[in-house]
Every structure is written in structure tokens, then in C-alpha cells.
Amino acid sequence: MPPGTPNPEWSKCELPPPAELGEPADWARVYGRPGPLIVEIGCGGGRTIIGMAVAHPEWNFLAIERAGEYYRTLRERVTKRGLANMRVTQLDAAYLINRFFPDASVREYHVYFPDPWPKKRHHKRRLFTEQFCADLRRTLIPGGVLYFATDHQDYYQEILPRLRAALSVQEHPEPWEDAPEGRTNYEVKYLREARPIYRLVGTT
């Protein structure tokens, strides 16, 4: 099969299974074309990433969502809109990025309100480990960007030094300029409730 040709057996929007991706994956083949890759982790029903995919049809988008109910909603919305520039997956984000993302392959990561696993015995399940932060750095292109937000202060304070060790970090306490009412449903809700939100932008 020529490079850049997607497998006809793959779903129109679902990411191919790991056995077919290759290590690292050929993302031009996954999308059937080259293009900047934008990744959102924990995207729920897809409000943010679907909006970006519609606004930028020339970019390639990957939505990662583990929760089954959200994933089904996400997949249905992407399929209904016929977004050829978007793929969805339930694979674990840390595993996927570590094993299948080449160096300097991602233009933007978006991670909004990840599960903080607040109980101490569950902290090992948190996404932003030292290895994950290193993989963000490795896979972002020069000038690539991580956008992050959480309402959980303890989680934010834990991961901030890890991200600063990997990226150039600017804290962003004010609402996003492009979405003053919030980029995600959680952010919209929390802003209305006047709940503190901790945001940052990390760049390579």
C-alpha cells in the first residue's frame, strides 16, 4: 500500500488498532495526507476539538477519550459531521504517545480538566508523570504548544514543576482569549460558578 494511503478496513473516524499503527505510527497514512497534528486528551463529547476540526479542515486532529459513554457520543458526532480530518480513540493517552508518536510530530496538545484522582492512593493514575511530560517535549514540533487547564489546585501544583522541567511554561490565570466563556463544557460551568481555574501554556 503506497505511503499516505489509509487502510480501507479502518473505520472512517476511529484510529486503527495498535497492531496496525506501527511503531512509530505513519500519521500521514492514518489521515491519508500529511498535515499538522493536533491532539486533545480527555475531550468528553468533543466540543473543543470538533470546533477546531471544523475551523481548520487543513489540519489533522486526534481525540483521545477513555470513558465509554463520552467516546460513543464523540464518535457519533464526528461521523455525523463527516470530519475526514479527525480520528478518535479510546487508547490510553500516555501509552499511545509513548509508543506511537514520532519525535517532533505534534503541533498542539490540548488537555482540559483531566481526572485529578484526588485520593492519595490513586495519585499514581494521574496523567502528568515525569515520563509523560518528557514525551510531550519529545513529540512536540519546535514551537509546539501544550494548552492545559484544571480546577484542582493540588494537581496543578504537583504537575507544574514537571512541566517546567520539560517545557517553557507560562501560567494563564485569565480566560482564554479565543473563548472568554470557556473552551470546554466544564470550563463554562466553572466560570459561571466563579470556581478558580488554573491554566497554563507550555511551549518547546
Residue 159 lies in a domain: yes
Classified as helix, coil or strand, 190 is helix
Q: Which domain holds residue 120?
A: 18-203
Query: Is residue 11's pLDDT more than 60?
Result: no
- Of the candidates 196, 16, 201, the one whose C-alpha atom is nearest the C-alpha of residue 110 is 201
Query: Is residue 64's pLDDT more than 60?
Result: yes
Q: Which long-range contacts (CB under 8 A, 24 or more apart) does 120-129 make?
A: 123/158, 126/155, 126/158, 126/159, 127/41, 127/42, 127/93, 127/94, 128/158, 128/159, 128/162, 128/163, 129/94, 129/162
115 annotated active-site: yes
Query: Is residue 1's pLDDT more than 50?
Result: no
Q: Return the higher-pLDDT residue of 121 and 180.
A: 180
Residue 130 lies in a domain: yes
Residue 1 lies in a domain: no
Q: For residue 166, what is the domain's CATH number?
A: 3.40.50.150
Q: Taking residues 41-55, what's their average pLDDT? A: 95
Query: Is residue 45's pLDDT more than 80?
Result: yes
Q: What is the pLDDT of residues 95-104, one digit of tens each?
A: 999 999 999 9
Residue 119 lies in a domain: yes
The DSSP call for residue 14 is B
Distance in angstroms (rounded) separating the CA atoms of residues 139 and 106: 6
How many residues are listed for the chain in this entry?
Answer: 204
**Total structural domains in the chain?**
1
At residue 117, the pLDDT reads 63
Q: What is the pLDDT of residues 140-163, one digit of tens each?
A: 999 999 999 999 999 999 999 999
- Give yes or no for a contact between 53 and 61, defined as CB atoms under 8 angstroms apart: yes
Residue 123 lies in a domain: yes
Q: Predicted confidence band at 10 (pLDDT cuts at 50, 70, 90)?
A: very low
Distance in angstroms (rounded) separating the CA atoms of residues 64 and 190: 23
Q: Predicted confidence band at 26 (pLDDT cuts at 50, 70, 90)?
A: very high
**Average pLDDT, rounded, for the chain:** 91
Residue 89 lies in a domain: yes
- Give yes or no for a contact between 46 and 38, defined as CB atoms under 8 angstroms apart: no
Overall pTM surpassing 0.85 (yes/no): yes
Residue 64 lies in a domain: yes
At residue 5, the pLDDT reads 47
Residue 4 lies in a domain: no
Catalytic-role residue among 26, 92, 115, 151: 115
Other CB atoms within 10 A of residue 189 CB? 12
Q: Predicted confidence band at 123 (pLDDT cuts at 50, 70, 90)?
A: confident
